[in-house]
Structure 1
Amino acid sequence: MLRNLDLTALRSFAAVADSGGVTRAAGFLNLTQSAVSMQIKRLEESLGVQLLNRAGRGVALTAAGEQMLGYARRLLQTNDEAVARLTGDAFEGEVTIGVPSDIVYPAIPKVLKRFHAEYPRIRVTLISSYTRRLKALFARGDCDLILTTENSIGPEGETLIELPLIWIGAPGGQAWRQRPLPLAFEYSSIFRSGVQEALDRAGIDWIMAVESDSTRSIEASVSADLAVDVLVEGAEPKYLERIQHGGALPDLARTQINLYTPAAAGSGVTALAADLIRQTYRALKA
């Protein structure tokens, strides 16, 4: 006899897998922890397999859980698309997304293109700013969801990917060879102090050659080979390039790209946008 999967339980399972824990998943789904745990337990019992390894402090997917997650995401996506298109409940409206300017590429254009193709009646407003301001806008409700670059994560956040910081300069540029090293940073750059400390530890003299509150001004200065900058790996624009310094510059820290969504955003326009962002970053990791 064929058995039917419970979509509500699948949604809880996917939320736990994406967020890394029952507590955080419960917040995203606006459910209690016990409700989420019970739904996953019923799903495991209906399948006769263990999906989560609960040993230790957190939860991890078993081999069966990893296999089930792919099916769960496809089933939920089909369900949500059918509901949205037939009822219009989640097929129109607007959503405001905040993204730091230095990680708009490469993910966000892909998100916006797919979002428009699948939900053309939803208006998307993109706010590009620095992490501290975006978190303030999110706290006030001026952004429905935000991406951040951070070394840690706060409430209502989930880490999508962790990437290294890299030195960037003009194509074929020589500014990175100069001493003191000329740096170009925005005033509000979250990476600025860490980079300076790394140079100090390496015994490399530096000067702040270019400062601005504009990302484009910094990029123009770096592309003119007046200074060097630091970006998240993969986010460098085509007119700049990663500096192959051969150890002449210190290795830099890694940073988390975090997604913040309201605890009650279990469905609707914000949830649709958040799911597309998650899918895009999962593809980047693949």
Structure 2
Amino acid sequence: MARNLDLTALRALVTVSEVGGVTRAAGLLNLTQSAVSMQIKRLEESLGTALFNRVQRKLSLTPEGELLSQYARRMIDLNDEALLRLTDTAFEGEIRIGVPHDIVYPQLPQILKAMALEYPRVRINLDSCFTSKLKQGFGRGEYDLIMTTEMRPDEGAERLSTRRLVWVGAPDGIAWQQRPVRLAFVETCFFRPIAQDALTEAGIRWDLAVGGGSEQVAEATVAADLSITARMEGAVGGLEVIEAGNALPDLGTLSICLYNAGRQNGPVIDSLLAQLRCAYGDACAAQRAAGAGRGSDRDDDLAGRLAAAE
């Protein structure tokens, strides 16, 4: 049968060993002297070993007591840390973040899960829409943080990475070969005029396969190989990058940017910012790629840490 050590008794053990006597320890623990003595006695009886020696009216730990005190300090620290995270109002509150649809996956769910585990009393409210709407809402004070995908970031933007804008379609699809090329973009998509202008300049006829504002409808027509669309490289979801050579024009590059309203301070927002920078930043991506080519031992360690974060 599993046995559990009493944290209260372990705290008494550590305190007595630090101050060298039961009377002083009782005052620090806000207990009576007899209560502290009883806790130590029960702990010794449960383990079947003496934990203290009395030397010239001062208590000193036996070798077994020294060993147990090392474990006790670690257990007490973990206990106190857990209580702090779960009860301290410094780790309460709400963070409002906006992120464009096309860069939510796969990074953001992992980040939100990690934050929920680390700061369970903090609410992170996520809104996902197009960059133009996010920037408008940010200007009105509706968000603490936003991420954007844009060609010319505003002053105050933190540029995390630069990625290619690529043509995407259904896996093994042929819709990109049709003329006119059928496009699937919602009306407010920032990528829509970029794709249309690129095709027009290349002399390639195009028309729209969908209208309105339903992202799901647009994606369904692409998945059915009835149209093509554009996405940022690395964020194509279940679609496939079209390797069309010169048959389709280059779409250039876009930046993933981070805007911070600066209204929140402290370890919670710092942790979230650090994870966003690492997940979306070029620097961390380069480090991960470099690490992938160095020895299996380091690979195994990295894989373990990533699995723990997920």
TM > 0.5 between the two? yes
Question: What residue in structure 2 maps to residue 118 of structure 1?
Answer: 118
User: Is the 1:156–1:263 contact (alpha carbons within 8 Å) kept by the matching residues of 2?
Assistant: no
Higher strand share: 1
Divergent runs of 4+, >3 A:
84-90, 263-266, 268-272, 282-286
| Residues 101 and 215, structure 1, Cα contact 8 Å, conserved in 2 | no
1:272 paired residue number: 271
Distance 1:268 1:136, change over 3 A: farther
The match for 1:133 is 133
The 3 A distance-change label for structure 1 pair 139 and 285 is farther
Return the letter of the residue paired with 1:278.
Answer: R
Contact map agreement 2:256 2:280 (CA 8 A) in 1? no
Q: Secondary structure at the match of 2:185?
A: strand
Q: CA deviation at 1:234?
A: 0.8
**Other structure's SS at 1:143 match:** coil
Q: Which protein is richer in helix relative to its size?
A: 2
Number of aligned residue pairs? 204
Q: Which amino acid aligns with 2:146?
A: I
In structure 2, the CA distance between the partners of 1:96 and 1:87, relative to structure 1 (3 Å rule), is same
- Over residues 89-124 of structure 1, what are the superposed CA-to-partner deviations in whole Å (9 max), with x where a residue is unaligned? 542211111011111112211211221222122111
Unaligned runs of 5+ in 1: 1-80
Deviation, structure 1 residue 268: 5.3
Query: What is the CA deviation profile of residues 61-103 of structure 1, one whole-angstrom value per residue up to 9, with x for unaligned ones?
Result: xxxxxxxxxxxxxxxxxxxx99x84993542211111011111
2:182 maps to what in 1? 182
Does residue 201 (structure 1) correspond to residue 218 (structure 2)? The answer is: no
Q: What amino acid sits opposite 2:100 in the alignment?
A: P
User: What residue in structure 1 maps to residue 261 of structure 2?
Assistant: 262
Q: Retained in 1: the 8 A contact 2:86–2:120?
A: no
Equivalence for 1:252 = 251
Q: Distance in 2 between matches of 1:87 and 1:113?
A: 19
Task: State the secondary structure of the residue aligned to 2:278.
Answer: helix
Say whether 1:165 aligns with 2:165. Answer: yes
TM-score by length of 1: 0.66
TM-score normalised by structure 2 residue count: 0.61
CA contact (8 A) 2:164 2:252 kept: yes
| CA RMSD of superposed structures (Å) | 2.2
Q: 2:96 aligns to what?
A: 96
Instruction: Flag the 1:214–1:124 CA change in 2: closer, same or farther, 3 A.
Output: same
Relative to structure 1, the CA distance from residue 86 to residue 103 in structure 2 (aligned partners, 3 Å threshold; closer, same or farther) is closer
Number of the residue aligned with 1:142: 142
2:285 matches 1:284: yes
Alpha-carbon shift at residue 266 of structure 1 (Å): 4.3
Aligned mates of 2:86, 2:224 — CA distance in 1: 53
- Counterpart-to-counterpart distance in 2, 1:156 and 1:258: 10
SS at the partner of 2:274? helix
Moved more, 182-191 or 258-267: 258-267
Residue type of the alignment partner of 2:129 = S
Could you tell me which runs of 5 or more consecutive residues in structure 2 were left unpaired when the two chains were aligned. 1-80, 288-310
